Amino acid sequence: MAGSDQVNLIESKTVVPLNTWVLISNFKLAYNLLRRPDGTFNRHLAEFLDRKVPANANPVNGVFSFDVIMDRQTNLLSRVYRPAYAGGDPPSFTDLQKPVDGEVVPVIVFFHGGSFVHSSANSAIYDTLCRRLVGLCGFVVVSVNYRRAPENRYPCAYDDGWTALNWVNSRPWLQSKKDSKVHIFLAGDSSGGNIAHNVAVRAVESGIGVLGNILLNPMFGGTERTESETRLDGKYFVTVRDRDWYWRAFLPEGEDREHPACSPFGPKSKSLEGLSFPKSLVVVAGLDLIQDWQLKYAEGLKRAGQEVKLLYLDQATIGFYLLPNNNHFHTVMEEIAAFVNAECQ
Amino acid sequence: MKRDLHQFQGPPDTRFPNHGTANTGSSSKDKMMMVKEEEDGGNMDELLAVLGYKVRSSEMAEVALKLEQLETMMGNVQEDGLSNLATDTVHYNPSELYSWLDNMLTEFNPPPPEINNSFLAGAGGSDYDLKAIPGNAIYARSDQFAIDSSSSSNQAGDNSQSTKRLKSCSSPDSLVTGTTVTTTTTESTRSVGLAAESTRSMVLVDSQENGVRLVHALMACAEAIQNNDLSIAEALVKQIGFLAVSQAGAMRKVATYFAEALARRIYRLSPPQTQIDHSLSDTLQMHFYETCPYLKFAHFTANQAILEAFEGKKRVHVIDFSMNQGLQWPALMQALALREGGPPVFRLTGIGPPAADNSDHLHEVGCKLAQLAEAIHVEFEYRGFVANSLADLDASMLELRPSEIEAVAVNSVFELHKLLGRTGGIEKVLGVVKQIKPVIFTVVEQESSHNGPDFLDRFTESLHYYSTLFDSLEGVPSSQDKVMSEVYLGKQICNLVACEGPDRVERHETLSQWANRFGTSGFAPAHLGSNAFKQASMLLALFNGGEGYRVEENNGCLMLGWHTRPLITTSAWKLSAAH
């Protein structure tokens, strides 16, 4: 296999800047060390290797953050990011939860990626990404530190997402002045995108208003081997085998990838037809091997009569949004800003 | 008075000897990461630095090559072998990609057809790694100190014994090389403080109305004191008293201690002298030790570093700046006893302040440890030194033996910050440590900035710090231990808030600040690895409310925190190559 691996390595190197290649390859290497064939996970080593950053109530580049325990029972923690207050002074403790100041202030509930297994809300890559999102247009971002597989399988991550949504929805200080309501968007990358979708479904069923979903390279799958999986297997940092491992880690034991959590428009899923599901922005990277599933997802939304904008980025790999050194990154940031601001008229 | 962000900032970089000490102003408050020109001219890649990885731009291609080599190598290993390799290898400082990858290339290459453990025997994961020592201290504490009239033998500057002058020998650094500590000297001096200097990290749990008003009142009171508006401060302190009573849980306790400290400051009532209070402090610390994992973590991680540094040494000597009841040492002694090839000769020098009643408590502690040593068949030697301040010590008092014969570790848990209130104090002590030429210098300190020049800033930082600490204790069932732990922390709060000048000893500083100080004083980091991390994490799981405790690796040091807020840091140091 060594020969074809050499080809693979060279291919992936031609499509991303070198530092991006190093970053993502480093993750790939580390993650390979952590997954065990028997389905268990080396959590201690994972936490040791993960680069974390503390919250910072002192504004940096116009953004400050603080952590909240949303639920004492489950110790569910989230990191709240806010634009710095006028004047740029560091907010005092009592000012952290000062009411948002605007007719319409979008609040993005963000679910980090990591294939349901890796990363945390305080992982450096996600802290950085969330700060960028705030910087886009003065949104508030709430990044949820949901429970991860394999220690906590489906539906824990969704339950935590739901708890977070309710928490955000019930904060008086997050209400927009226009209508004294919290203007909520759900967002996530990879597994976070999957969580965003599922939390949105639950929101719709319970009558909590979500204004839009933003799914970056969302993690979906199915039992079938799609054309993109076969074509791109192992070529751009990701293998079908590792995807399978993560689904086995997240889904209930004994379930296969037809499970609705994996395949939301598969044979076992409920229809979204007729529901007032939020509009969706679905970003698909052209070199992501699960893109066929992501495209099926967008299709499924359309067929169910839901509003969806599909953004297909030809030569983008996974993780392109982690570093601002490529056009795809800037394109996506603009699209997200436009998508969210459209609701703020 | 407008609070100035500059006050928060400590010096950022350990690599520049001419950089000033704490609290130099900087206009870089907007930068999360200080990007520095390395002395040989290569910049760190800024984008990766923000994400927690330190890679020089000039080395990017080389790092990429190493990644490719590892990928190929790993492709040759069977699946099971891969995760075994991961488990058995000890990893260090993952931020330094270059050296992390190098370490793995060394470990994984070449794998024999059948992966077995003998291939990995040289790796840092060792048979005698410390196991988590749960539960109570190894021996029962005495409730009172026996008054021993023949207590003169261990006074500082022991006149009855001949002092051996330290021979000036330039022994080569006898550190075990290879996989157990950071590889080359160049790597070890790369360490750049990664955390933003002016970070205020907060975990909010209680967002109830009363909690916020209470904090607001406390801050307003502190501000009034800073502005010398003492009548306003007085009124506020009374208001705080009322608010605190209606508050529940951790916040009430914290507010009460801070309010008391503020009152003392307003009325200029000095707290009990810490000098005569050491026996009480020791007792309180024992309670703290039992209640929550902070001290156990400190001892455990420091011992791990010491154990690794002592590998292969036949005679070892630990100099403990924080002897107290000697709680740290039974575990180390047991680990040494179980060492492959048998234990070394173990010598311990315990340093502590005089007891209130002049009892020879250091001697007693030594006797208990001697009993343990005998039981586990470790040859043991002990000296106790009483000193009011560590700065009173000279290397000549310590009866050091040549480093070829005896390897020395210096250990300090929550002691160094006390020197910062005394001019020249820390410099003197670090100078003594250098004279000792230890193979390892382990330091545990509170991870917070409580020593800035601005009272209000100190107050704010410490309010958040102790709120988090008290919050972590909430999960512990009520007991005398718990109450006494709170008193222990309360005394720190009192000292921090109510005292000034040399009386104020609780002058906590952050890892970046300490790292800079050690760096400019001639020390280089000795990294703690994934084995220590793992075992520390497992230790935490044994504690009630273990859920909230987190271990984090930061620049080769280990931090224990409550959720996402680091609270204490264990770091290890060795003399840098130039010294």
| pLDDT value at B5 more than 50 | no
User: What is the predicted pLDDT for the residue at B197?
Assistant: 54
Neighbours of A20 (CB within 10 A): 22
Mean pLDDT computed over B412-422: 96
The Cα B410–Cα B441 span in angstroms is 5
Q: A39: phi > 0 → left, psi -120 to 50 → alpha, else beta; which?
A: left
What is the pLDDT confidence band of residue A182, given thresholds at 50, 70 and 90? very high
Contact A52 B52 (CB under 8 A): yes
Cβ pair B97, A30 in contact under 8 A: no
| Alpha carbons A295 and B104: distance in angstroms, whole number | 39
Segment B371-378 mean pLDDT = 96
- Residue B80 is nearest to which of A30, A34, A37, comparing CB atoms? A37
pLDDT tens readout for residues B461-474: 999 999 999 999 98
pLDDT tens across B163-183, in order?
Answer: 222 222 222 222 211 222 222
CA distance B239 to chain A (A): 17
The DSSP 8-state label assigned to residue B7 in this structure reads G
The rounded radius of gyration (Å) of the Cα atoms in chain B is 24
CA dist., res. B557 & res. A117, Å (int): 25
ipTM over 0.85: yes
Give residue B280's pLDDT. Answer: 76
Would you say residue A256 has pLDDT above 60?
Answer: yes
**Are the Cβ atoms of A42 and B8 closer than 8 angstroms?**
no
DSSP state of B422: S
Number of CB pairs, chain A paired with chain B, less than 8 A apart: 191
Q: In a mutagenesis test of the A interface, which of B51, B129, B219 is the best target, namely the one with the most A β-carbons within 10 Å?
A: B51
Residues of B in contact with A29 (CB under 8 A): 67, 70-71, 74
For the ranges A149-158, B121-130, B251-260, the lowest mean pLDDT is seen at B121-130
Share of chain A above pLDDT 70, in %: 97
Query: Is A6 domain-assigned?
Result: no
Q: State the pLDDT confidence band at A4, using cuts at 50, 70 and 90.
A: low
Contact A5 B565 (CB under 8 A): no
Q: Measured between CA atoms, how close is A327 to chain B, in angstroms?
A: 15
Beta-strand pair B565-575/B523-525 = antiparallel
pLDDT at B271: 64
Structure tokens at A149: 């597989």
Question: What's the CATH code, domain B276-282+292-445+510-526?
Answer: 3.40.50.150
State the average pLDDT over residues A131-160: 96
Task: Tell me if B300 sits within 8 A of B536, measured CB to CB.
Answer: yes
Q: Which residues of B touch A92 (CB under 8 A)?
A: 219, 460
User: Which residue of chain B is at minimal alpha-carbon distance from A78?
Assistant: B203
d(CA B541, CA B550): 10
**Quick check: B228 pLDDT over 90?**
yes
Task: Give pLDDT, residue B456.
Answer: 94
Q: What is the spatial distance between Cα B414 and Cα B299, in angstroms, rounded to a whole number?
A: 11
- Partner-chain residue, chosen from B51, B63, B86, that has the shortest CB–CB distance to A42: B86
Give me the phi and psi of A141, to 5 degrees please. Answer: -120, 135
Q: Tokens in use for B3?
A: 């609070």
Phi, psi of B477 (to 5 degrees): -65, 150
State phi, psi for B81 to the nearest 5 degrees.
Answer: -60, -35
Sign of torsion over alpha carbons B471, B475, B477, B481: negative
Which of B67, B200, B547 has its CB closest to that of A26?
B67
Least Cα distance to B549 among B558, B130, B329, B509 occurs for: B558
List, for residues B123-154, the tens digit of each pLDDT value: 344 434 455 444 444 343 433 322 223 333 33
Tell me how far apart the alpha carbons of residues B126 and A112 are, in angstroms, rounded to a whole number: 36
Report the number of distinct structural domains present in chain A. Answer: 1
B329: pLDDT strictly greater than 90 = yes
pLDDT tens-digit readout, B522-561: 999 999 999 999 999 998 888 765 688 999 999 999 999 9
pLDDT at B330: 97
Provide the β-strand partners of residue B409: B318, B440
- Residues contacting residue B510 through CB under 8 Å, at least 6 positions apart: B10, B195, B447, B448, B449, B569
CATH of the domain at A48: 3.40.50.1820
Residue B503 has pLDDT above 50, yes or no: yes
- Whether residues B51 and A97 touch (CB distance < 8 A) is answered with no
Q: DSSP state, B118?
A: G
pLDDT average, residue stretch A254-268: 95
Question: Which pLDDT band holds residue B370 (cuts at 50, 70, 90)?
Answer: very high
Q: Kindly indicate the confidence band of residue B412, based on its pLDDT and cuts at 50, 70 and 90.
A: very high
CA–CA–CA angle A183, A187, A191 (5° rounding): 150
Q: Is the pLDDT of residue B114 over 70?
A: no
What integer is the mean pLDDT of B417-446? Answer: 96
Band of the pLDDT at B79, cuts 50, 70, 90?
low
Nearest alpha carbon to residue A338 among A256, A301, A283: A283
Domain of A17, in residue numbers: 13-342
CA atoms of B369 and B382, how far apart (whole Å):
9
* Exposure letters A191-216 (e unless 16+ CB within 10 A, then b): bbbbbbbbbbbbbbeeebebbbbbbb
Q: Which residues contact B349 (CB under 8 A, 6 or more apart)?
A: B317, B318, B319, B320, B382, B383, B384, B385, B398
**Mean pLDDT across B319-348:** 95
Query: B231 near B195, Cβ under 8 Å?
Result: no
| In-domain check, residue A136 | yes
Contact B564 A55 (CB under 8 A): yes
In sequence order, which residues have a C-beta less than 8 Å from that of residue B167 and are 6 or more positions away?
Answer: B402
Which residue pairs from B229-238 have beta carbons closer than 8 angstroms and sit at least 24 positions apart in sequence?
Answer: B230/B266, B233/B262, B233/B266, B234/B266, B237/B262, B237/B263, B237/B266
Of A289, A274, A263, whose CA–CA distance to A198 is shortest? A263
- Considering only CB atoms, B5 lies closest to which of A49, A58, A128, namely A58
For chain B, the domains span 206-267, 276-282+292-445+510-526
Q: How confident is the model at residue B184 (pLDDT cuts 50, 70, 90)?
A: very low
% of chain B exceeding 70 in pLDDT: 72
Residues B207-234, mean pLDDT to the nearest whole number: 87
Flag whether pLDDT at B198 surpasses 60. yes
When CB atoms are compared, the residue of A48, A51, A67 closest to B563 is: A67
A13 falls in which pLDDT band (50, 70, 90)?
confident
- Residue A159 pLDDT exceeds 90: yes
What are the residue numbers of the active site of A?
Answer: 190
Mean pLDDT of chain A: 94
**Amino acid in the structure at residue A194:** N
β-strand A308-313 against B345-352: which pairing, if any? unpaired
Q: What is the mean pLDDT of residues B83-93?
A: 81
Q: Is residue A7 part of a domain?
A: no
Q: Do B460 and A93 touch (CB under 8 A)?
A: yes
Residue A5 lies in a domain: no
B255-310 tens-digit pLDDT: 999 999 999 999 987 665 554 466 777 888 888 888 889 999 999 999 999 999 99
Which residue from B minimizes the CA distance to A55?
B201
What residues of B are in contact with residue A34 (Cβ under 8 Å)?
Answer: 83, 86
Q: Which residue has the tokens 């000893």?
A: B505
B115-119, B173-177, B250-254, B410-414: least confident range: B173-177
Q: Given this model, what pLDDT does residue B545 score? A: 55
Supply the mean pLDDT for chain B: 78
pLDDT at A296 over 60: yes
